[in-house]
Structure 1
Amino acid sequence: MPAENFQALEFLLTRRSRPAKTLAPPVPDRATLRTLLTAAARTPDHGKLEPWRFIVLERAALVVLADRFAECGARNAIEPEKIAKAEAEYRGAHLAVVVVSSPKPSDKIPEIEQVYSAGAVCLALLNAALAAGWGANWISGWMSHDAGIRAHLGLEEDERIAGLIHIGTETTPPPERPRPDIDAITTWITT
């Protein structure tokens, strides 16, 4: 039998994201955040292409981003209530990391596998923040798919937002939610 890391397994079996709206200061300082980003960058990356990158949004940058949501929402026919909710969430945020899916040309590694790797980076960063004792939440949402928002963040034409990882101090215990029924979603093939 392999040697188990019981603490890591227990963490993964019990981890819960913290709603972004419940996160407050303090947030990780740059040195701490670099450690979390380093952990996230250890994500499986076929071909060592690094088909992702990070953009760190501090408090003022999050407010500027929120200022763009009304125009973005109108452009995408988003209901006013959803726009107001997103604006409030980002105006109240103090730190978020944009994980950018940045596929690289490759004859060996299909673009979809590179996109999957960017998604894995989101989860790795989320888990690293939680494991380090911070509250964290992975968000995407309608605004992350808007060309104007991508341009505001300096993304290239072929880049997309894989997720925004909000990180801060947990102010309330995270709510429990139903988890998947493993037997209902698992097929065992033996021959």
Structure 2
Amino acid sequence: MPTPNPGPNPAALAHLAQRRSAAAKLYTDPVPDRAALEAILTLAFRTPDHGKLEPWRLVVLSRPDMARLADLAEARARELGGDAEKIAKGRGQYDAGRLAVAVISSPKPAEKVPAAEQRLSAGALCMNILHAATASGWGACWLTGWPAHDATFAARAFACTGNETVAGIVHIGTPPAELPPDRPRPDLARLVRWGLE
């Protein structure tokens, strides 16, 4: 006999219906302390990871780390011949950042688990950090920016090697008192196909 459906979880549904991010530059102090962040990450680690492969690692970034990353981004932009706009965009999130978690996709050798699925696991972890931080009362915003996708920057900043890449940088802090208006959400009728015919 099939197990009956336990029914909806109104609090979880309300969280999903209302979750949205403000721009990371709008976050203020305080930020979670170590114990609060560990609680958030413990929840976030309940992520599909293909049989405990754990194909990711995290780097917690404090304010001094952000200043270092801003300088690294500027230096890399200059090496690439970037203009003032590229430099400003590279520095931007780090100059304004207070606390963030860099999620590094780190696929493991696994014959039965393609690297693409392992990279998706890192993306799922980014989303879980957003949900756990928001449910814990903080603001959270998932960013990357061009430096995160630059292999040289990623190696210098986060010691990425081999096939490691930056999946996301999740900023966490006190959100603004008033969040910006919600943006229009995707149209199910346009994007969802019911069946193969």
Q: TM-score, normalised by structure 1?
A: 0.93
Output the CA distance in 2 between the equivalents of 1:86 and 1:172: 27
Paired residue secondary structure (1:47): coil
Q: Percent identity, aligned pairs only?
A: 48
Matched residue SS, 1:46: coil
Alignment of 1:133-144 (within 5 A): 133-144=137-148
For residues 1-191 of structure 1, the aligned pairs below 5 Å read: 1-76=5-80, 78-152=82-156, 153-175=158-180, 176-189=182-195
AA aligned to 1:156 is T
Q: Which amino acid in 2 is paired with 1:181?
A: D
- 2:24–2:96 CA contact under 8 A, matched in 1: no
For structure 1, which runs of at least 5 residues remain unmatched after alignment? none
Aligned amino acid, residue 140 of structure 1: T
Q: Is the 8 A contact 1:44 1:117 kept in 2?
A: yes
RMSD, aligned α-carbons: 1.6
List structure 1 segments (4+ residues) > 6 angstroms apart after TM superposition.
none
> Which secondary structure state, in structure 2, belongs to the residue aligned with residue 129 of structure 1?
helix
TM-score, normalised with respect to structure 2 = 0.91
Assess if the C-alpha contact under 8 Å between 1:24 and 1:93 holds in 2.
no
User: Does the Cα contact within 8 Å between 2:151 and 2:165 map onto a contact in 1?
Assistant: no
Provide the rounded CA distance (Å) in 2 between the counterparts of 1:109 and 1:87. 36
Per the alignment, do residues 27 and 161 of structure 1 end up closer, same or farther by CA in structure 2, a change over 3 Å counting?
same
